[in-house]
Structure 1
Amino acid sequence: IIILSRLRGVDPHIVHLVSEIYRGITMYIVTEKGKTDPINICAGVRQGDPMSPLLFSLALDPFLCKLEAEGKGFHHGGFKVTAMASADNLVLLSDSWDSMSCNITILEIFCELTGLQTHREK
């Protein structure tokens, strides 16, 4: 997310601020025997953080640009529609199984490159 922020021209002060906010994040698990040692969190965005939807959108932007350029959607009102994205939800759209298969391939490649994971059952 930090690298993407720089590439997208986000003000360096904002990039630094986000880096500092996300530096050294830990969690622990409470068991019947007590708390575990701290566990470092090295990926993802904070659950419930008001900044998380914006950061996730920034992380998803390269995928949406690639899908717009190379994906297969359906045409409506002169526009090609390939996906709908909101907060941390994404819906791929197409007019045929072949088109959807193409879009899924683009998504799978993006996930492999970035480490993002999908939850198809949602």
Structure 2
Amino acid sequence: YHNINTRIDLKNEHSDTIGIRIGVKQGDPMSPILFNLSVDPLLCKLEEEGEGFHHRAKSVTTMAFADDLVLLSGSWEGMQRNIEIVEAFCDLTGLRTQGEK
């Protein structure tokens, strides 16, 4: 959506109009699909250039579900590399992380 308005309804009161410049409405059936499409390049980059956790000849760099992403690595240096990839992706896309979660 681009340049839409919304308001908050509370019992018999309504807030002033709130402008939304760009985004996807929460609850829209397309929201998860669009989010997955937007984050897929990050997941691919992490698989290609990140340093994952190795188990039984497999390397796993991420676990992702909905809007949650967990980075995995077998070393601190590898984790730093993965974080650098995420930070570069966020700089390019305008996405933000909540590392404290």
**How do 1:102-117 and structure 2 match up within 5 A?**
102-117=81-96
What residue ranges of structure 1 are gaps of 5+ in the alignment? 1-21
Deviation at 1:74, TM superposition (A): 1.2
Deviation at residue 121 of structure 1 after TM alignment = 1.6
Are 2:66 and 1:87 aligned? yes
Which residue does 1:14 correspond to in 2? none
Correspondence for 1:100: 79
Residue 108 of structure 1 aligns to a residue whose secondary structure is helix
Q: Which runs of 4+ in 1 moved over 4 A?
A: none
**Identity over aligned pairs, percent:** 55
Letter in 1 for 2:98: H
Deviations, residues 22-79 of structure 1 (Å, cap 9, x unaligned): 3443223569x95223402313x32222321111110001111111110000112322
What is aligned with 1:46? Answer: 25
Amino acid at match of 1:112: D
1:72 aligns with 2:51: yes
- Structure 2 unaligned regions, length at least 5: none
Aligned-residue RMSD, C-alpha? 2.0
- TM-score normalised per structure 1: 0.71
How many residues are aligned here?
99
Distance 1:86 1:64 in 2: 12
Higher helix share: 1
TM-score by length of 2: 0.84
CA contact (8 A) 1:71 1:82 kept: yes
Q: Distance in 2 between matches of 1:106 and 1:86?
A: 19
- Larger relative strand fraction: 2
State the match for 1:26 in structure 2. 5
1:98, CA displacement in angstroms? Answer: 0.7
